[in-house]
Amino acid sequence: MELGKKIRDLRKAKNMKLTDLAEKSGIQIATLSRIEHLKMTGTLESHIRIAQALGVELIDLYKGVHTTNDSLEKVELGDAPETFSYNEKASSEILTGNIVNKKMLPVVLRIDVGGKTSIEQNQPGSEKFIFVLEGLVSVHIGERAHALKANDTLYFNSSQKHYIENAGSRVAKLISVITPVEL
């Protein structure tokens, strides 16, 4: 059984609506829905809060959960990617499906002129790779800023606080890959 399905089954067995679980766990409904529909995995912290809200131990939440080893996936042009908005000037499109079973998360970031992503700080041991497709960006990691233009790359420890801002006069597009998967 997959984790999202197990969470949904446990929630329904307790006659809880998604809104009830959101209220009890403090996790947004949209995030819970993505987890239940196998669009994202969530974090260990979110799993702990979900388990507490459901009245089960974390070990019991994970018991019987499996991952697949099928690492081949083709996404067709025109398939609607899932989009995540940081704000009105920055968004990302997830470039793969079933991210629950993935070890890395590839996205296309789009940052409008004057825009920037939210400040992120991923779990210890996580890494991020950025490839600039179009435009100019400034990647702020801790107290340092790194200027990147089209075809530049940056690879860094994403457990450090970081954000990306558009430093140019046109829309910036980047490919970003983070490992392990974390939203």
CATH number for region 3-62: 1.10.260.40
Residue with tokens 């025109």: 78
Q: Give CA–CA dist 95/91, Å, rounded.
A: 13
- One CATH from 2.60.120.10, 1.10.10.10, 3.65.10.10, 2.30.40.10 for 82-179: 2.60.120.10
pLDDT at residue 65 in the model: 80
pTM over 0.95: no
What residues in the chain have per-residue pLDDT under 70?
66-81, 98-101, 181-183
CB within 8 A of 110, min separation 6: which ones? 90, 91, 92, 93, 171, 172, 173
Name the nearest CA neighbour of 115 among 85, 150, 81: 85
Mean confidence (pLDDT) of the chain: 86
- Domain regions of the chain by residue span: 3-62, 82-179
Helices (H), 26-169: 29-36, 44-54, 58-62
Q: Model confidence over 134-169: pLDDT tens digits? A: 999 999 999 999 999 999 999 999 999 999 999 999
pLDDT at residue 132 in the model: 96
pLDDT at residue 135 in the model: 97
E-strand stretches of 2-159: 82-87, 90-94, 105-111, 127-134, 137-141, 144-148, 153-157
User: Collapsing DSSP states into helix, strand and coil, what is residue 91?
Assistant: strand
